[in-house]
Structure 1
Amino acid sequence: MERSGAAGPPPGPDESGFPAHHAGRCGGLAELDAELVRCRACPRLVEWREETAAHPRAAFRGQEYWARPVPGFGPPDAALAVVGLAPAAHGGNRTGRMFTGDASGDFLFAALHRAGLASRPTATHRGDGLELYGVRVTAPVHCAPPQNRPTPAERRTCRPWLSAEMALLAPGLRAVVALGAVGWQAVLPVLGEAGWPIPRPRPAFGHGAWLTLPATGQRRELQVLGSYHPSQRNTFTGRLTFDMLVELLTRAAGLAGLGPSPD
């Protein structure tokens, strides 16, 4: 649904303008997350997340799926942000927590734990007691897309949530890890919107890519690192090994002031 005039009530959750109108008006991450989970702005994603919940995999039969947008996870004063792509249909869409309940999340949280950034190596559901230390895990798309492929229009519609999240984290943010080329491509313009100067042309993605965004009058210097996404396609083929991800997260933690400074 589109709103034709500028006057009138603000866009509702099922309107495409809902994220753009509401995200930037949130005064904190708790408010942002509460608004985000109400969003129904992308009809295809709403239909898919609810259809998946109605037809769970046999292993999850009897479980109640979250089947809503999945907010970021981690403390509001995080110095390090980890940015992926989108929740998995039977992962975050089921558990209600980003990167929780699927193979990619198992790989990521085990690596975060090894790097000293998580209280435990496994993430199973929202109430499992897992804590992140100085890290916020999020994504540029907050609903599970069919075939793990959001459309360009869906990415644009969802982008204000990530933009607002980075702006709210900005005062204490010191490093960002982008998982995969899509995460890298999504987070750089969002960081530009949050106040950091982004070089042109934008640096190419690669595992170990490292970009320093200079401090401004309002923002501290920010380190941006790229990592291959912990998808099964990458981890099963050895393109991304556990040690590779631990090493990169440990380096990012040091740059963020959460551990020993990197060499």
Structure 2
Amino acid sequence: MHQTNPPHDCPRCPRLVAFRHDNRRAYPDFFNAPVPNWGDDRPGLMIVGLAPGLKGANRTGRPFTGDYAGDLLYATLGKFGLASGHYKQRPDDGLRLDGVLIVNAVRCVPPQNKPTPEEIRTCRDFLAESIEVHTPRAFLALGRIAHDSLLSALGEKRSAYPFAHGAEHILSSGTVLFDSYHCSRYNTNTGVLTTTMFEDVVGRAARLIAT
């Protein structure tokens, strides 16, 4: 049986388990567990993020829900017909993804938003299983860590597909990988990523899966 999501009390990464328990004591009303995939079970596009934010997805239990990254991501998906409804930073807002599944390279919130290389490797099984089960036509990697972990999950050589914002890679399987800087508040506030830059990449991915 395929396991695309970790169990609620996944024991694999000791540091993340300890942080989870700390957060359960500090924020008892938060989700505080590995955040599962969310979206369309038959996606044309799989979006791969890094990890849940402490007061975003770790609070709400839905990827990119509850912080600025979700504001930009879901508004952009809606603009290109990949989401319907209205995003309101909570999991019961009625938002629906159309042809898109969102997964994270690391499912538990890491301290300071920085998973270790070992934690990324340990969680990769769930990414690989998600790919096998959902068989998307294209991928959108948000940031270098998501890009690298995705390539490893696919058995691709990282050196053959270097990360760059706006890059469009045709993988050995014929699947297309789009790269974008992560849609975090830090990247947008510093001008590393603009709304126009992000919309360009998402728009190209949307057009590809529509053909």
Q: Same fold (TM over 0.5)?
A: yes
Would the alpha carbon gap of residues 46 and 207 (structure 1) be closer, same or farther in structure 2, given more than 3 Å must change? same
Deviation (angstroms), 1:123? 4.4
Query: Which of 1 and 2 has higher RCO (CA within 8 Å, sep 6+)?
Result: 2
Larger Rg: 1
Would the alpha carbon gap of residues 40 and 199 (structure 1) be closer, same or farther in structure 2, given more than 3 Å must change? closer
1:98 aligned residue (47, 57, 63): 63
Would the alpha carbon gap of residues 53 and 38 (structure 1) be closer, same or farther in structure 2, given more than 3 Å must change? closer
Shifted more, 104-113 versus 78-87: the winner is 104-113
Give the root-mean-square deviation of aligned CA atoms.
1.8
Matched, 1:84 2:37: no
1:120-172 residue CA offsets vs partner (Å, 9 max, x unmatched): 352422222110000001111000000111111111111100110011112xx
Does the 8 Å contact 2:54/2:109 carry over to 1? Answer: yes
Would the alpha carbon gap of residues 185 and 53 (structure 1) be closer, same or farther in structure 2, given more than 3 Å must change? same
Q: TM-score, normalised by structure 1?
A: 0.75
Partner of 1:117: 82
Partner of 1:232: 185
Query: SS at the partner of 1:159?
Result: helix
Q: Distance in 1 between matches of 2:64 and 2:132?
A: 22
Query: SS at the partner of 1:178?
Result: strand
Partner of 2:170: 212
Q: Distance in 2 between matches of 1:37 and 1:52?
A: 14
Matched, 1:32 2:4: yes
Shifted more, 243-252 versus 142-151: the winner is 243-252
Percent identity between matched residues is 41
Alignment gaps of 5+ in structure 1: 1-24, 57-62, 193-197, 216-220
Q: Distance in 2 between matches of 1:97 and 1:145?
A: 16
Partner of 2:202: 249
Partner of 2:139: 176
Does the 8 Å contact 1:53/1:94 carry over to 2? Answer: no
Size of the aligned set, in residue pairs, is: 211
The amino acid across from 1:189 in the alignment is S
Query: SS at the partner of 1:129?
Result: coil
Q: Distance in 1 between matches of 2:75 and 2:199?
A: 9
Would the alpha carbon gap of residues 76 and 43 (structure 1) be closer, same or farther in structure 2, given more than 3 Å must change? same
2:16 aligned residue (27, 45, 51): 45
Alignment gaps of 5+ in structure 2: none
Partner of 1:202: 160
Compare the two structures and name the one with the higher strand fraction: 2
